[in-house]
Amino acid sequence: MLNTLVTGLATGALYAIVAMVFNIMFSTSKVLSLTTGHTAMLGGVFGAWMITGLGLTWWLALPMTLLAGAVFGWLTETIAIRRVLASGDDHLWVLSTLALGTIVQHLMALWWGTEPKPFPRLITQDFSAGPWDQKYWLPMALAAAVATGLALFYKRTMLGRVFTAVSEDPFAARARGIAVERVRALSFAMAGALGALAGFAAGQLTYAFFALGMWLTLSGFIALAAGGLGSNLGALVGGVLLGLLSAFGTYFFGAEYQQTVSVGILLLVLLVKPAGLFGKSVVRSV
């Protein structure tokens, strides 16, 4: 039972970080990119390849993995988002980001292989550590650090205020001299790096697997919907809630019901509180 609890917390922490990545991208574009989970998948695959394939130490592989994630995030905005928003079509990004994510997933399958591969140990630790193993506490510590860091970023830094300005009114921000397109591209690069960091930290838990992208995208979206769009605290709570319920659902009923639990949470939240636990309903003048 203790292992189930810890597994649920660790998996939920990963979902929470992916949900926060959703928030970063959404804050400047009002787009929920379906490539979000793929940034974490790339972090796990590239991290494992650099350490086991190239023989790099983890502290050298980590910044290179973050760079790869940032480049992917920037490419997502450039290829799948920018032209769609410029055309005035508010929903075509669903297809463009889904297509890009599918392409990346298939390319990873061709290059990396279709079997999950173990992620190397980052810290010297005996495998008998049980619930205190690094594969559990690394994603949990990262989720808490990311939530705290983003709160400080948006409240205490000039760039965070620029992100907020673009989120609230991009037209007014552009009139004040803010390069909205550059800010949006920067937010996607930042989100890509953060997603890659999540995949790197949780690699021992999830393994380096090409098919993680869509699973993490769906799970992160459910955590975001449960917590409330735009709220990083809600993303943290929603992710942990989803991870715990999925873990205990698997423990009591079997792994085949894990997706049922996840989708059930989404439907329940949409029916009871559509804005999420910490979300705010937006009143629009018509």
Map out the domains of the chain as residue ranges.
Answer: 2-272
The residue among 97, 54, 139 whose CA lies nearest residue 46 is 54
In sequence order, what are the residues at sequence separation of 6 or more whose Cβ sits closer than 8 angstroms to the Cβ of residue 252?
none
> What integer pLDDT is reported at residue 273 of this predicted model?
86
If pLDDT is split at 50, 70 and 90, which confidence band does 286 have? very low
| CATH match for 2-272 among 1.10.10, 3.30.1460, 3.30.420, 1.10.3470 | 1.10.3470
If pLDDT is split at 50, 70 and 90, which confidence band does 51 have? very high
The token pair at 252 is 């009591």
Model-level pTM greater than 0.85? yes
DSSP 107-130: HHHHHH-SS-BPPPPSS---GGGG
Do the beta carbons of residue 269 and residue 226 sit within 8 Å? yes
> What integer pLDDT is reported at residue 120 of this predicted model?
95
Q: Report the chain's terminal Cα–Cα distance, integer Å.
A: 52
The token pair at 45 is 């695959």
Decide which of 275 and 149 is more confident. 149
Please state the rounded mean pLDDT for residues 109-122. Answer: 96
